[in-house]
Amino acid sequence: MGTAPGPEGAGPLQKDSKVAVVKVQAVGAAPKQVTMKGLYFQQSSTSEEITFVFQERENLPVTEDNYVKLQVKACALSQINTKLLTEMKMEKDFFPVGREVAGIVLDVGSKVSFFQPGDEVAGILPLDSEDPGLCEAVRVHEHYLVHKPEKVAWTEAAGTIRDGVRAYTALHYLSHLSPGKSVLIMDGASALGTIAIQLAHHRGAKVISTACSLEDKQCLERCRPSIVRLYSKDDEPAVKLQLLPHKHDIITLLGVGGHWVTTEENLQLDPPDSHCLYLKGATVAFLNDEVWNLSNVQQGKYLCILKDVMEKLSTGVFRPQLDEPIPLYEAKVTMEVVQKNQGRKKQVVQF
């Protein structure tokens, strides 16, 4: 029996030699797939309760033309509107968690024009995102991102961007706030309330706010410029009643041509309420910041808002109320607290 030809320049391969065969198999072996942990939630089919779970996911490369791959440096936690997801017919076994992100661009698709690898960016993942922001890396369309100023911290960028969008939507696009106007901001010491107060002051408005506790009141009293005080210390009741204002109280407070912006999606107006609004020429508007991503026509305005939020963070106009950053392994427990609306300051996961 003759000898088999070996690799070029290696001479003939002896029939009893198995070393070369082993080497060929090793070279042809498939590389091990890299995986990452991401946080997801699963909604019970019998109730509105949801369960948060960590799952392993593949570190997929960028494949879509207009998408970028982002190394997440920080992700803020917000309540998940499960009712909205149901109404939008978004049915999945597991939904990704975490949408307000800041990070570094790792890779870009062939048609990406605004970013390149190494850029520091921030943005809000869309409702139908396949990737959770609470993961080491995500893929996102470039039209949901803006550049992050170098002096803005990762946690501040992620922790402010959504509340900034909500404040802009309420004060600029829904109520058309201008210098010299008066604005009442409910629960001003909350994460959203703080940003709304700072934006209203920046626009030259006179700000009035409500407080839910003594700690919140002291926080509001430290605001600069100061917030209008409508009572003296002698007027404070001995027992604090945690009551929300009735809709009639709010309508009564509205001035001629005033605007009431609310997040109460089930608000019901009775005929006397409508008549009072009619007499004042006042309006009621509903704040739903998700509308910016429901139509491509609004994409330009939306990106302008994101850019302005980053700019105001950089210049110190926005000073967010953030809790201490938490690591990824604590995100599940913290998200359960956030979902129950039990926290006051904004929770941010830092990678």
- Collapsed DSSP state (helix, strand, coil) of residue 90: coil
d(Cα 115, Cα 103) in Å, to the nearest integer? 12
Handedness of CA 317, 323, 328, 333 (dihedral sign): negative
CA 23 to chain centre: 50
The torsion angles phi and psi of 16, rounded to 5 degrees, stand at: -90, -5
Q: Where are the alpha helices (DSSP H) in the chain?
A: 19-27, 82-87, 154-168, 191-202, 214-221, 247-253, 271-280, 299-315, 331-339
Q: Is the pLDDT of residue 203 over 70?
A: yes
Share of the chain above pLDDT 70, in %: 83
pLDDT value, residue 223: 77
CA–CA distances in Å: residue 143 to residues 69, 195, 304: 13, 24, 11
Q: Higher confidence at residue 255 or residue 29?
A: 255
pLDDT score, position 164? 96
Q: Where are the alpha helices (DSSP H) in 169-298?
A: 191-202, 214-221, 247-253, 271-280
Please answer whether residues 80 and 339 qualify as being in contact, where contact means their C-beta atoms are separated by less than 8 angstroms: yes
CATH of the structural domain 163-286, one choice from 3.40.50.720, 3.40.50.2300, 3.40.640.10, 3.20.20.190: 3.40.50.720
Give the pLDDT band (50/70/90) at residue 345: confident
Cβ neighbourhood burial of 221 (10 Å; 0-12, 13-18, 19+)? exposed
Domain spans of the chain? 35-148+321-350, 163-286
Q: Find all residues with CB under 8 Å of 189, minimum gap 6, and list them.
A: 209, 211, 212, 215, 216, 217, 219, 220, 321, 344
Q: Which two tokens stand for residue 11?
A: 């001479």
282: helix, coil or strand? coil
- Cα separation, 197 vs 208, whole angstroms: 9
> How far is Cα 347 from Cα 334, in angstroms, rounded to an integer?
8
Q: What is the pLDDT of residues 128-162, one digit of tens each?
A: 888 999 999 999 999 999 999 999 999 999 999 99
> How many angstroms separate the CA atoms of 214 and 325, rounded?
25
What pLDDT score does 28 carry? 39
The pLDDT, as a whole number, for residue 310 is 97
Task: Say which CATH architecture domain 35-148+321-350 belongs to.
Answer: Alpha-Beta Complex (3.90)
User: Residue 90 to residues 50, 130, 263: CA-CA distances in angstroms?
Assistant: 15, 11, 22
Q: Which pLDDT band, with edges at 50, 70 and 90, does 218 fall under?
A: confident
Average pLDDT of 310-333? 94
- Pick the closest to residue 346 from 50, 52, 167, 100 (CA basis): 100
Residue 252 sits at φ, ψ, to 5 deg, of -65, -35
Would you tell me how many other CB atoms lie within 10 Å of the CB of residue 49?
10
pLDDT at 58 over 70: yes
- CA–CA dist 133, 97 (Å, integer): 6
Band the pLDDT of 210: cuts 50, 70, 90. Answer: confident
In this predicted structure, the answer to whether residue 280 has a pLDDT above a threshold of 80 is: yes
DSSP 110: T
Nearest to 105 by CA among 77, 78, 141, 157: 141
Within 8 A by CB and 6+ apart from 9, the residues are none
The tens digit of pLDDT for each residue in 68-115 reads: 999 999 999 998 888 888 888 877 888 999 999 999 999 999 999 999
